[in-house]
Structure 1
């Protein structure tokens, strides 16, 4: 038996967790030999409860392993164990690293380029949506992968923004890969795969979905990433669980500041006070990853070298400074009338200098 199939076999037996597998590995030199041991040898394992031993003996069959593989093949789901070469490098050494991952798509992208996770509220406001899409798109256009959890709200817009750029997006599920949740995002998951992205989970095919799954999967979102961005989060937001994991894993934490009067920004503003990097624009991220600064600056220079009117440059400079601006904020910053601003914005969008997001909110197309 191959090592990967030994992990698959154990992962398919009720009651066996990552911790259990570590105990089993302490009892045997090569995990792939476990299935060939006698019942007596298995019952002699130390620090393993009787029920687990009984289940291992019960399902100690190559036919059982083949049946699990057949189910995965029918669903076109791939699997990889933590000892294989293609397993995500960033994930391998985190606490409670998944012994196995199940996936659809191109898993090689997790070990290519920089990957940034983006998390936030399920009840996203227009401000949060605009920020998520703009930041995700901007990073994606620089070839950075965007990781999120495919949930309603900020997660969804993080994936959507990335799909509009040249990077790839990775969705980490709290359910098995053959049971994409929420169902509302099934089409989005298909688009991720069509674009060459990745859908993955550490939950085996047809596993039951428990509320605790979603907190557990957050360790993978942060674990795969090189840093985590929080866009809109209440004081007790689930997104802050990801932040806790990221801090334990030594990752950079970025936070988009919000309205001090909005409960939706309480979590973001709180973690900024506690040391998260305040995120005004993409350059705040790139300054932490110097390898990408040159490309970003080149894109800004292209924007600067376009032949534009004085008023257009004023508007671009205002957006460049803030990262994302609503048309009303542009009028306030430039002191220009909304009629003139509207006309200039339309021209700049047509010339691919700006991107129009939701509700008349604009960002640079870099």
Structure 2
């Protein structure tokens, strides 16, 4: 029996957790042989709860294992254990690393490229949505994988922004891979897979979903990442839990500043005060990983050689300074009429100088 099948079998037994499997491994036995042990030998396992031993004995059956494997095959779900080469390298060394991961898509993309988590509030503002999309697309365009939790709000825009770029996005679920939640994001999950991305979970097929699942999920989001970017978060936010896990795991933590009067920015401002690095463009991040944003440099040279009008240059400089702006904010900052600004923005989008995010919000195409 393969070790990953032994983990699959144990993972499906009621009461057996990741820590239970670690304790079984501490009993100095080959876990692949556990299913073949006598009942007496299983009851003699040390540091294992009696009820769990009883459940292991109850489901000690190759036919039971084959049934679980068949269910995963029917759902096109793959699984990998911590001892295998394609298991996420960064995740192996975090506390309570899952012994088995279930996935759909290309598991190899995790170890191929740098991955950064982009997380934030489910109740995102337009500003937060624009920042998540812009940052994720820019990271994607320099070959960085964007990792998030497929939740509403910032997570969804992080995944979508990444798919607008050249990289791949990874969604970590708090439910089983065959039970994508929230249901309204099933379409997004399918798009991620169609785009060559990945959906992973440490929950077995048809597992029950509890609120604690999402806290456990957050340790994997940060665990497979090189760093965590919090785009928008209230003072009490799951995104901040992901950042806390990241700190414990020795990851770089970044935060996007927001409106000082917005409750959705309080969490970001708090972790900035506590030491998270403030970012307002991806150069702040790329410098950490010594990645040269060639496209950004080419575009900056391109702007200089375009013989743009004075008004166009003013708008570009304003967006370059502010980051992501709505057309109304551009008018306020430049003191230009909206009709004129709208015309210039359309021309700059056609020339690939600017990107229109959504709802008349614009950023530099870098």
TM-score (norm 2): 0.97
CA distance in 1, matches of 2:171, 2:229: 15
Q: 1:325 to 1:299 in 2, by over 3 A?
A: same
CA distance in 2, matches of 1:292, 1:249: 26
CA distance in 2, matches of 1:327, 1:106: 39
Corresponding residue for 1:257? 257
1:83 pairs with 2:86? no
- Unaligned 5+ segments in structure 2 are none
Q: CA deviation at 1:30?
A: 1.7
**How is 1:57-72 mapped onto 2 (pairs within 5 angstroms)?**
57-72=57-72
Corresponding residue for 2:237? 237
Q: 1:305 to 1:227 in 2, by over 3 A?
A: farther
Q: 1:298 to 1:56 in 2, by over 3 A?
A: same
Q: CA deviation at 1:301?
A: 3.0
Corresponding residue for 2:119? 119
Partner SS for 1:107: coil
The answer on whether the counterparts of 2:230 and 2:254 sit within 8 Å (CA) in structure 1 is yes
Corresponding residue for 1:19? 19
CA distance in 2, matches of 1:31, 1:57: 14
- Unaligned 5+ segments in structure 1 are none
Q: How many residues align?
A: 366
**How is 1:165-244 mapped onto 2 (pairs within 5 angstroms)?**
165-244=165-244
Q: CA deviation at 1:322?
A: 2.3
1:274 pairs with 2:274? yes
Q: CA deviation at 1:28?
A: 3.0
The answer on whether the counterparts of 1:28 and 1:34 sit within 8 Å (CA) in structure 2 is no
Partner SS for 1:132: helix
Partner SS for 1:217: helix
Q: 1:285 to 1:180 in 2, by over 3 A?
A: same
Listed one character per residue, the Cα deviations across residues 229-288 of structure 1 (whole Å, up to 9, x for unaligned) are 111111111111101100001111111111111111110111111111111111111121
Partner SS for 1:292: coil
Q: CA deviation at 1:293?
A: 4.0
The answer on whether the counterparts of 2:149 and 2:171 sit within 8 Å (CA) in structure 1 is yes
Partner SS for 2:234: coil
Corresponding residue for 1:164? 164
Q: CA deviation at 1:303?
A: 4.0
Q: 1:251 to 1:304 in 2, by over 3 A?
A: farther
CA distance in 2, matches of 1:301, 1:55: 66
Listed one character per residue, the Cα deviations across residues 320-359 of structure 1 (whole Å, up to 9, x for unaligned) are 2222122233234334332222111000111121111123
CA distance in 2, matches of 1:304, 1:253: 34
The answer on whether the counterparts of 2:172 and 2:217 sit within 8 Å (CA) in structure 1 is yes
Q: CA deviation at 1:52?
A: 1.1
Q: CA deviation at 1:299?
A: 4.2
Q: CA deviation at 1:34?
A: 1.2
CA distance in 1, matches of 2:275, 2:347: 40
The answer on whether the counterparts of 1:233 and 1:264 sit within 8 Å (CA) in structure 2 is yes
Q: 1:37 to 1:28 in 2, by over 3 A?
A: farther
CA distance in 1, matches of 2:215, 2:49: 26
